[in-house]
Amino acid sequence: HPAPALGLCLSGCRGLSQLAELPETHQLLRQTCRDYADKELIPVAAKLDKEHAYPAKQIKELGSIGVMAIEVPEDLGGAGMDYLAYCLALEEISRGCASTGVIVSVNNSLYVGPVLKFGTEEQKKRWISPFTTGEKVGCFALSEPGNGSDAGAASTMAHQDGDHWVLNGTKAWITNSWDASAVIVFATTDKKLKHKGISAFLVPMPHSGLSLGKKEDKLGIRASSTANIILEDCRIPLDNMLGSRGAGFKIAMQTLDSGRLGIASQALGIAQASLDCAADYALKRTAFGAPIGKLQAIQFKLADMAVALESARLLTWKAALLRDSKKPFTKEAAMAKLSASEAATFCSHQAIQILGGMGYVTDMPAERHYRDARITEIYEGTSEIQRLVIAGQILKEYQL
Amino acid sequence: MSGRVLVGVKRVIDYAVKIRVKPDHTGVVTDGVKHSMNPFCEIAVEEAVKLKEKKLIKEVVAVSCGPQQSQETIRTALAMGADRGIHVEVSGKDYDSLGPLQVSKILAALAKKEEAQLIILGKQAIDDDCNQTGQMTAALLDWPQGTFASEVSLEAEKIKVVREIDGGLETIKINTPAVLTADLRLNTPRYATLPNIMKAKKKKIANVKPADLGVDLTSRLEVLRVDEPPQREAGVKVETVEDLVAKLKDTGKI
């Protein structure tokens, strides 16, 4: 896909104008996703959350719109668009329903993404094409009960037995686990090599030797399933290794770099939904003889929310543009995820404050945004890890 | 029946926007206000694309009359499945006074130029609610019309149209070429899918001036003043039917 040829690079003022005004295709895409979210997600989001119900119908519809595999080339069943398009789509979808957003994000960034980047042609056909329509979704199993941020300490093991790999161990906090048809599992193939001894494996679901732990009862994003994946002598063909032996950690880190922007976009959607809710309420609710939107205390909150949101959005778009131009984007992606997730928690917190008592009850969506926002500061790299990544990049720059 | 369908798509203020009258009362505020394709035009595009998918027609041409921004509306039609677009450039004062009479003249001229066999329009636009363009276009071309269509089927060289009318539903059969106008229940417009948005980038939009079509844009109407609807006043409660009748007589209502 000729993304660089579209001029989406920052070394000229054309790149900057992307930040000021999106290209027409991207505007159309954003409008489509916004229309879909308004008509099909917002009306059901509260119910999906209350019932912890996987939005199967919506995921299929999103699949036919083309958002389940945005970057995948058309010949594999994807939409063949760039990462900026993905971020725009994800923000609008998450604005409608944050759970649906994370399901779309995990499928795009954490499952399809690494297979597209590191898979063989055969693996791409087998493990990507069926996952572009919304009929099937994938998931990504890196974290374990014993290590989250400490990803190099993977204790899940893989040993070769004849023409099979045999996987043993437990993975934790796996999004989409109860609804997925495939998982990328990271396991240690050479313990002595430490993090350079981790490899990636494609495992179909269901599969003998793979079982699921109980569905976690979460604070937010409840329509997406989160559970342990338990591997007990799980046998997979040798062909199921993704990338080369020992490349697992590198694959995971590069995948998370991109996934970061997906979560940033999800957080932006939650922040925008909170701002929409708060501003609408401020115009309608009267106190002391006038709409509360006339009061400076409320106005200051709205302004702070808008600034936090817009700055995080521009950081996200910049990181996406860099990635699309195949330029380094690790620092910018970490900055985007950090600022967007903190904007989501800030905006949803302030939205409840502006709504007062109404913000605390399920009649209004503010409480759901508050609960949904919280996880964005934790998964796919905690805010603390993001700060380490950013600092590491900055210090590298100054050392040159 | 095979051949070309012209679909009119109008750029209007988005249905969700709160409309405000300009301080000088010459119109409504449009600057910086969100615009989108007229919802009935979306239904018209959808119907045309469906006919093409059924292989009943060969080409869908989306037409819009307006300023530069009308091209966005055409692009949306292309993303829904139209094959190419025609942007008839009308801007400034001409655009302010553009109405069904001029648009129908433009569409009639284009239909002849493009040798179209079918014109599908929305039944009305949500900004002026005129509900005239389809009817005028048919009259100018001396073509039959199927307006307020809630169902359209092509049968040999005729079109069967089920129309929504005050008394219920009316079914008519008209010859082609013809003009149809889409009503709400004709279909549910599709979302512009991402692959189609990408395909739309390669589709052509031709630029045409009304003068090239020999159309005179002079308006026969002059807008004197635009006002908001009067504020809704509180009602009055009465105790009995006699009181109600007395009150109605009092205020001259009966």
Residues of A in Cβ contact (< 8 Å) with B73: none
Residues of A in Cβ contact (< 8 Å) with B9: none
Give the pLDDT band (50/70/90) at residue B2. Answer: low
Task: Report the residue from B72, B192, B198 with minimal CB separation from A32.
Answer: B192
Q: What is the pLDDT of residue B236?
A: 84
Q: Does domain B2-249 have CATH number 3.40.50.620?
A: yes
**Strands B178-182, B145-155: pairing kind:** parallel
User: For residues A253 and A227, what is the distance between their CA atoms, to the nearest angstrom?
Assistant: 22
**Interchain proximity A25–B36, CB inside 8 Å:** no
**Rounded to an integer, what is the distance from CA B119 to the centroid of its chain?**
11
Q: Is the pLDDT of residue A6 over 60?
A: no
Residues of B in Cβ contact (< 8 Å) with A89: 194
**Rounded to an integer, what is the distance from CA B120 to the centroid of its chain?**
9
Counting residues of chain B whose pLDDT is more than 70, the rounded percentage is 99
Q: Is the pLDDT of residue A79 over 60?
A: yes
Q: Are B145 and B111 in contact (CB under 8 A)?
A: no
**Interchain proximity A65–B191, CB inside 8 Å:** yes
Q: Are A377 and A342 in contact (CB under 8 A)?
A: yes
Instruction: Characterise A84 by phi-psi region: left (phi > 0), alpha (psi -120 to 50), beta (else).
Output: alpha
Question: How many contacts does A have with B, using Cβ atoms within 8 A?
Answer: 50
Taking residues A17-41, what's their average pLDDT? 90
**Interchain proximity A28–B193, CB inside 8 Å:** no
Reduce the DSSP state of residue B228 to 3 states and report it: coil
Question: CA torsion, points A48, A54, A57, A63, in degrees to nearest 10?
Answer: 120
Among A267, A248, A256, residue whose Cα is nearest residue A334: A256
Q: Is the pLDDT of residue A14 over 70?
A: no
Q: Is B68 on the interface with A (CB under 8 A)?
A: no
For residues B25-48, one letter each, b for 16 or more C-beta atoms within 10 angstroms of the residue's C-beta and e for the rest, the string is eeeeeeeeeebbbbbbbbbbbbbb
Q: Is the pLDDT of residue A2 over 90?
A: no
User: For residues A272 and A91, what is the distance between their CA atoms, to the nearest angstrom?
Assistant: 9
3-state secondary structure B43-69: HHHHHHHHHHHCCCCCEEEEEEEECCC
The structure tokens 């798509």 sit at: B9
Task: Report the residue from A25, A65, A85 with minimal CB separation from B201.
Answer: A25
Taking residues A165-193, what's their average pLDDT? 96
User: For residues B35 and B188, what is the distance between their CA atoms, to the nearest angstrom?
Assistant: 20
Q: Is the pLDDT of residue B32 over 80?
A: yes
**Interchain proximity A81–B198, CB inside 8 Å:** yes
| Per-residue pLDDT reduced to its tens digit, B58-112 | 999 999 999 999 999 999 999 999 999 999 999 999 999 999 999 999 999 999 9
State the amino acid at position A241 in one-letter form: M
Q: What is the pLDDT of residue A16?
A: 63
Q: Is A35 on the interface with B (CB under 8 A)?
A: yes
Counting residues of chain A whose pLDDT is more than 90, the rounded percentage is 90
Among A77, A97, A81, A82, residue whose Cα is nearest residue A36: A97
Residues of B in Cβ contact (< 8 Å) with A65: 191, 193-194
User: For residues B90 and B209, what is the distance between their CA atoms, to the nearest angstrom?
Assistant: 7
Taking residues A20-27, what's their average pLDDT? 87
Give the pLDDT band (50/70/90) at residue A5. Answer: very low
Q: Is A66 on the interface with B (CB under 8 A)?
A: yes
Question: CA torsion, points A22, A26, A32, A35, in degrees to nearest 10?
Answer: -20
Residues of A in Cβ contact (< 8 Å) with B194: 29, 32, 65-67, 70, 79-81, 85, 89
Give the pLDDT band (50/70/90) at residue A208. Answer: very high
Among A75, A154, A69, residue whose Cα is nearest residue A106: A69
Give catalytic residues of A, as residue numbers: 380
State the amino acid at position B162 in one-letter form: V
Reduce the DSSP state of residue A229 to 3 states and report it: strand
Rg, chain A, Cα only: 21
**Which of B34, B68, B73, B197 to probe the A interface (max A CBs under 10 A)?**
B197
User: For residues A346 and A15, what is the distance between their CA atoms, to the nearest angstrom?
Assistant: 29
Taking residues A14-20, what's their average pLDDT? 65
Give the pLDDT band (50/70/90) at residue B231. Answer: confident
**Interchain proximity B195–A32, CB inside 8 Å:** no
Q: Output DSSP code: residue B88.
A: E
Instruction: Classify residue A274 as exposed, middle or buried by CB count within 10 Å of its CB (0-12, 13-18, 19+).
Output: buried
The runs of H, that is alpha helices, within chain A are: 13-20, 24-36, 42-51, 56-65, 83-96, 98-105, 113-118, 121-127, 248-284, 296-324, 330-355, 366-374, 383-399
Q: Is the pLDDT of residue A303 over 90?
A: yes
**Interchain proximity A70–B194, CB inside 8 Å:** yes
Rg, chain B, Cα only: 21
Task: Please name the helix (run of DSSP H) or strand (run of DSSP E) that holds residue B63, with its range, or none.
Answer: strand B59-66
Give the pLDDT band (50/70/90) at residue B233. Answer: confident
User: For residues A346 and A328, what is the distance between their CA atoms, to the nearest angstrom?
Assistant: 29
The residues with which B175 forms a beta bridge, in sequence order, are B158
The residues with which A150 forms a beta bridge, in sequence order, are none
Q: What is the pLDDT of residue A37?
A: 97
Q: Which residue has the higher pLDDT, A8 or B156?
A: B156
3-state secondary structure B130-171: CCCHHHHHHHHHCCCEEEEEEEEEEECCEEEEEEEECCEEEE
User: For residues B70 and B63, what is the distance between their CA atoms, to the nearest angstrom?
Assistant: 9
Tokens of B148: 């307020």
| Per-residue pLDDT reduced to its tens digit, A233-270 | 999 999 999 999 999 999 999 999 889 999 999 999 99
The full set of domain ranges for chain B reads 2-249
